[in-house]
Amino acid sequence: MFIGIHATWDVYNCNADKLSFVPYIKESLHTITATLNLEELNEAFKQFEPIGVTGFILLAESHISIHTWPEHNYAAVDVFSCKEFDANVVTGLLKKLFDSNKIELNKLNRGSLDLVKLSNLDIR
């Protein structure tokens, strides 16, 4: 058992126009959080000139973030959550949202509950 899941996606061969500006990126991240039924607390997005976006949504469960490089048709996305979620669902959404035909998913279990329990023991 683990405290959380941290998943990252390298999203290649994207539609550069969709990666270029905040409104579409923001809508896309909101679509992902709604689909995963995650609770949004706050958000921050930065538009770069001439193109590119960094975005972050603070979740009750942790966070979702994105950084885009439209000039390379590439986006880096991650979700860290203490609530279990299906990373393959996000992969499908990213393919659809950014017209990608190549996505690499990496998943990491964070915070082994067995080790957390051991670290809380009062050993004297």
Q: Are 77 and 103 in contact (CB under 8 A)?
A: no
What residues are labeled active site? 62, 67, 82
Distance CA 6, CA 107 (A): 6
